């Protein structure tokens, strides 16, 4: 329970942090910390369901606080969590370097997905592909750097929750540690 | 069976949540009241966010003020020259005003109504790079409803797309999902202003023969049943004339600087088409369904 509250507070913190970055930085230098949080939820072991719900939840919060069609970011952040869980087993993305690379690449995939879904929902919409594409490399690289820095924070926040469960968490091999 | 369910629990949960999201997306994008969960999220996050972003906004505003002060001296000289020109123009307008009085009497059957407005402060800007919306600090308690237009003293801002008791979401006119029916003040050419996000907006569906030039002022036509007629949308920056096709397109600079938006006014008047039933009950139809 304490772990869930801690993650909830961290999620709200990430949303506020993202809003602060939006106020301070121009488009091409704005990392997506909410995406990093959602993807990190996929690294949890033993509490995968909680991670999935939190990832969908933070996406829903983004939908509420953004002009996006309701459900768009919830779906994409939930998918980021599920994709991380699947890919972590295949690629072992939970070391700082591979995690940074993964988040940077996933940012581009997520960016494309938003554009394509929006184009599908509203074919007549004039989407700013060119403008956002120009700013994409900077944002992807910064997302990767921030992801690498935040991995330690996610692990620390989760370490308290880890004591409540008999499962290892946040990508430390996913082995059961029975008391 | 239960073993199978347990094994695929994660996948099934993901599929269920994803289906809910897709259902929400498919269920339409019209203006609506925000649900309980959305209101709770706004209650939880906005005060914290405001606490963090307010000092940043204040510092940025102070910096802008300082930069503007430096420009004031140069602008002062330019403005003095403009005042002289405007005095001449003013004389001409006074003449026109006298003649327009006559037309005003003709329209006296239209009782002039004071439009009620609610002022609001911008609390949150869209954190996504794809969308352009803001959240303001007034909601249904102030009489605001989804679908109401939002303006500033310089022009149109957008439309209320969602409401809570003490907050509302505003879809800006520069959002790619936004459309405003508009006309050119000088030539009266009609078209549609469509948001293009970062770049501003486009003026589209302008018939090829119509006269649109850079510098033309665009106003709302009122035909979209959202914005009242005659509000300033922006200025034409350039016109793109295709060699073929029925229409041409113009690049529009909105009159409101959406990046520096701080205070807005919500027009407390929702203009919507009456429901179809009203036409049916009165024996009228919008158009005949029976084709010969």
ipTM entry = 0.79
* pLDDT at site B156: 92
Chain B residue numbers touching A49 (CB-CB < 8 A): 9-10, 13
Helix or strand holding residue A119 (H, E): helix A96-121
Cβ of A67 and B161 within 8 Å?
A: yes
Q: Does domain A2-162 have CATH number 1.10.1760?
A: yes
Smallest Cβ–Cβ distance between B22 and the set A18, A71, A128 belongs to A71
Residues of A in contact with B128 (CB under 8 A): 62, 66-68, 73, 114
Confidence of residue B289 (pLDDT cuts 50, 70, 90): very low
Is pLDDT at B30 greater than 80 in this prediction? no
Does A133 have pLDDT greater than 60?
Answer: yes
Nearest CA in chain B to A80: B14
Task: Judge if pTM exceeds 0.80.
Answer: no
* pLDDT of res. A82: 92
Show Cβ contacts of residue A77 under 8 Å, excluding neighbours closer than 6 positions: A34, A35, A38, A55, A56, A58, A59, A62
Kindly list the domain boundaries of chain A, sorted by start residue.
2-162
Question: Looking at chain B from residue 187 to 216, which residues have their Cβ under 8 Å from any Cβ of chain A?
Answer: 194-199, 202
Nearest Cα residue in chain B from A28: B129
Give the pLDDT score at B105: 47
Residues 19-78 in B contacting A (C-alpha not used; CB under 8 Å): 20-25, 27, 29, 34, 37-38, 41-42, 44-45, 48-49, 52-53, 56-57, 60
> How far away is chain A from the Cα of B132, in angstroms, using its nearest Cα?
6
Q: Is B13 near chain A, with CB under 8 Å? A: yes
Mean pLDDT value of segment A122-137 = 78
Burial per residue of A40-70, b for 16 or more beta-carbon CB atoms within 10 angstroms, e otherwise: bbbbbbbbbebbbbbbbbbbbbbbbbbbbbb
pLDDT value at B265 more than 60: yes
Reported as a pLDDT band with limits 50, 70 and 90, residue A168 is: very low
Q: Any CB–CB contact under 8 A between B180 and chain A?
A: no
| Nearest chain B Cα distance for residue A96, angstroms | 26
Which residues make Cβ contacts (< 8 Å) with residue B220, sequence separation at least 6? B156, B180, B181, B182, B227, B228, B229, B230, B231, B233
Q: Between B292 and B120, name the one with better pLDDT.
A: B120
Q: Which residues contact A148 (CB under 8 A, 6 or more apart)?
A: A96, A97, A99, A100, A103
Domain residue limits, chain B: 1-112, 118-267
How far does B106 lie from chain A, in Å, by closest CA? 41
Domain B118-267: give its CATH superfamily: Rod shape-determining protein MreC, domain 1 (2.40.10.340)
When comparing pLDDT for A88 and A165, which is higher?
Answer: A88
Q: pLDDT of A28-74, one tens digit each?
A: 888 999 999 999 988 887 778 888 999 999 998 888 888 888 889 99
- pLDDT of A161 reads 58
Banded model confidence at residue B276, pLDDT cuts 50, 70, 90: very low
* Residue pairs spanning A and B at CB distance below 8 A: 156
Name the pLDDT band for B56 (thresholds 50, 70, 90).
confident
């Amino acid at each position: 329970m304490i772990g869930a509250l801690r993650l909830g507070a961290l999620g709200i913190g990430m949303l506020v942090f993202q809003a602060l970055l939006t106020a301070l930085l121009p488009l091409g230098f704005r990392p997506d910390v909410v995406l990093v949080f959602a993807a990190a939820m996929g690294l949890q072991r033993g509490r995968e369901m909680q991670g999935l719900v939190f990832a969908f939840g933070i996406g829903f919060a983004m939908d509420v606080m953004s002009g996006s069609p309701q459900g768009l970011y919830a779906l994409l952040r939930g998918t980021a969590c599920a994709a991380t869980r699947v890919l972590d087993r295949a690629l072992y993305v939970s070391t700082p370097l591979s995690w940074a690379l993964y988040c940077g690449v996933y940012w581009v995939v997520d960016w494309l997905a938003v554009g394509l879904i929006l184009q599908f929902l509203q074919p007549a919409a004039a989407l700013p592909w060119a403008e956002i594409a120009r700013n994409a490399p900077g944002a992807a690289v910064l997302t990767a750097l921030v992801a690498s820095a935040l991995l330690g924070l996610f692990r620390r926040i989760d370490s308290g929750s880890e004591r409540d469960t008999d499962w290892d968490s946040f990508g430390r091999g996913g082995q059961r540690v029975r008391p | 069976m239960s073993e199978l369910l347990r094994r695929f629990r994660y996948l099934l949960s993901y599929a269920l949540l994803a289906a809910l999201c897709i259902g929400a997306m498919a269920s339409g994008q019209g203006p609506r009241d925000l649900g309980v969960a959305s209101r709770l999220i706004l209650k939880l996050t906005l005060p914290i966010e405001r606490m963090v972003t307010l000092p940043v906004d204040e510092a940025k505003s102070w910096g802008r003020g300082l930069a503007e002060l430096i420009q004031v001296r140069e602008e002062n000289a330019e403005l003095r020259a403009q005042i002289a020109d405007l005095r001449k123009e003013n004389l001409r307008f006074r003449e026109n005003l006298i003649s327009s009085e006559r037309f005003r009497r003709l329209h006296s059957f239209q009782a002039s109504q004071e439009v009620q407005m609610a002022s609001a402060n911008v609390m949150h800007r869209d954190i996504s790079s794809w969308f352009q919306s803001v959240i303001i600090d007034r909601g249904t308690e102030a009489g605001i409803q989804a679908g109401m237009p939002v303006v500033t003293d310089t022009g149109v801002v957008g439309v209320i797309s969602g409401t809570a008791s003490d907050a509302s979401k505003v879809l800006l006119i520069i959002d790619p999902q936004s459309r405003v029916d508009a006309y050119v003040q000088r030539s009266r050419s009609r078209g549609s202003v469509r948001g293009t996000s970062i770049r501003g907006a486009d003026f589209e569906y302008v018939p090829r023969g119509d006269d649109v030039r850079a510098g033309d002022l665009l106003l709302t036509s009122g035909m979209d049943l959202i914005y009242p007629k005659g509000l300033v949308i922006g200025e034409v920056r350039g016109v793109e004339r295709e060699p073929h096709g029925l229409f041409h397109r113009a690049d529009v600079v909105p009159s409101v600087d959406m990046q520096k938006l701080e205070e807005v006014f919500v027009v407390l008047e929702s203009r919507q088409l009456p429901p179809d039933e009203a036409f049916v009950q009165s024996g009228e139809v919008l158009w005949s369904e029976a084709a010969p």
